[in-house]
Structure 1
Amino acid sequence: MFTLKQAIDYVRNLADNNIGVNFDGWYGWQCWDLVAKVMYEATGKVVNGNAIDLLDSAAAQGLDVIQEGPGVIAKAGDIFVMDVPGSPYGHTGIVIEDSDGYTLKTIEQNVDGNWDYLENGGPARYRTRTYTNMVGFIRPDYAAGTETVKSPSGWIEDEKGWWYKNDDGSYPKSKWEQINGSYFRFNDNGYALENTWYQDNEGLWYWLKPGGYMAVGWQNINGKWYFFNNVGEMITGWIQYFDKWYYCTNENGDMVSKEVRKIGDAYYYFNGDGEMLEKASVRVDESGAIHFEE
């Protein structure tokens, strides 16, 4: 008989390897097959019917059934049953972590939305759900075991984005966090900002690259160049980079290039690479156009 840890390890292995289980040998990897397999290995009993029927089937066999309602919080190993608007079949899967009362970390089959989902189903997938449309839960009586289910730490992606789970189960939010040597900014809900600007309370601007990494050095953003110091702050004004001088505007921070710019009481010319020209020759052609020659 499955212990709780064995059940969670089993479904994780399916999801990690992009496969599923066909418990009854019919219609591929349906959502029912996954929970039926777990239920059978945990209790020796088979729950029948479509997903929406599983609560009644489980109750008829004396299994612990919990109807969704105020105060109900799912636990790791629970089988959820939910209504699917527009479908008579419902949906089901297994909860893999104790819920925080707001979201459910689950593994489910047949959620890819393929055109042949009724005939062939789909492999086991990690999902994060809310309690919306939940009908209830089945709580199998798993075999006794001394093992504990340890929720994995590290980066986790759900339908809202990427977040980071610490070893103690906490997660960073509304803060900067250094992870594996790189800095990331997390919003109030704990999701990493990426491919976007962030302004702190002091008015300083930062750029979070794809993947959430804080930008440093020169960065091309939407066709314009910006410079960020070694703590990620966007720098404006004069910038000396190696032996060259550049100028990033005070208005929005983008680098000046291919133009004559009045800065203070003097005029400066910046070439196509943004470098300020020193001791350049000036030539005026027959049309009156001014050319700067290095």
Structure 2
Amino acid sequence: MMRYIKGIDISNNNASIDFDKITEDKIEYVYMKATEGKTFQDSRLEEFYNSCKRSGLKVGAYHFLVSTSSPEAQAENFYRKVKGYEWDMIPMLDIESEFDELCNYIINFVNAFKELSSLQLGIYSYTGFLSNIEEIKSTIKDYPFWEANYNNDPWNLPLNFFTNRIGHQYTENGDISGVSGKCDVNLFTEGVLLKNNMYSGTWINENDKWWYKHNDGTFTKDDWEFINGKWYFFDAQGWMIHEWVGGLGMEKLKLIKVISGLLVLASVSVLNPIEIYATETEGNSVQSTDTIVNNVGSELKVNSGKESEASLNNKNTVSVTGIMLNESSAIINQGDTLKLKETVLPSNADNKKVTWKSSNTDVARVSSSGEVKGISQGTTTITCTANDGSGRSGTCKVTVYYSYYNKIGLLNKDGSAIELYSDENYNSNSIVSEAKNKRTYYAKASSDNISVNIKRLDEKYIKVFRVTSYSDIGEVRKAKLVDNDNIVLDPGTTTLIIRVYNNKPDSSIKYEDDSNILNEYEVKLNK
């Protein structure tokens, strides 16, 4: 009999979640939003991931496909966000927004993701949407399929062209212990689990060079990969970065660590002295050798043509092999701060101290603890470098925006001001005086129609959109341009998107052109 496992899916739109408590409702699986488009990365992913792992929950990630950026760029955004985590479930491509060239976008995203990762990709969509992608059914029909359908009981679903249905999202209004508010609830099969993750495969030696072949035939290029408890770096052709030559007793040597692209070997059990040599794949020969005797008190010093002297004793000293940051790119406002967190690899490195640096301190500065502060509009690269002499580093591209229109004025029909809150509970200590780019705010109106006024025009262009529909996961998908001076509110909640454009949108410059949008605010109004 098929076993079904209960799960939820979440994003930054969800309020507080007690992950220990959700297990009381037999929740075992949690999917979380990772990315959308080419730049958006969910700010709560790391928080959700760590909490789930501590609570013993299995985790997976998804990407929301949009039309405003290329599918290849979106696939890269998704891969770079999820690659530093150990996932239990298949990564999912969320397809529920209709636009021109949708089918080509799906195929190109899938192909681009295959180039980046060996992980099996799955597809999420809802029953009524499948007619929009039927023309590519022969290409995607065998992909793991997670189906949203709120009209049927769990797993009482109609047949469709997908052959491998692994999940049913049967409600968007679930009540789950530990979750504040309603949430999506699903039943999954064990087919959603990663059977062959990106690290499963076989080491291949060709002409004294090593590469790692994944079980699906792919291999990692120009990137790090975690294999059997260790991190390895592969060059642009997929070769592990090393080359080695050894003396007597080579069969009794083992890899201790890599320094600056060098494979360093040390004896584990020798009765006779062994002379150790090493070379680099880039052609820089090591300028010294050393001899290890009986594995006691000996030190191997390695020099290359492009690095200062580094030393390795044969008592398993562990150098840094890589640094991963929690963000590869980020957008902040002038005056705002961003906390970058580094993960030093391997976890047992002897010296985990790092140094932070900004390539342009006029744009943003970074503290010794990784806190970035926006200074002026522009782009800079924040680099985190290991202090152990290995030269390993991680980077994050930071773009700083100046909030041209940071004073949003909401007015009731009688002209009275409407307070703006950062908290959906309208706490008095969360009243907003200056809005920040890419943020959501909350307000309460006393009239059926209102007006929006944004101060500090600076000859830029402002448009207000009234949201008319949402995706099944509660995110904005369609909105209608409205008159700033006469906005009729819906019963309950009306959501407005306020955008500031650098150039006036017209027939040649689209409202959705990312490069033309300077600032964007979302305001949820109740009356």
TM-score by length of 1: 0.29
TM-score by length of 2: 0.19
Q: Kindly name which structure, 1 or 2, has the bigger radius of gyration based on alpha carbons.
A: 1
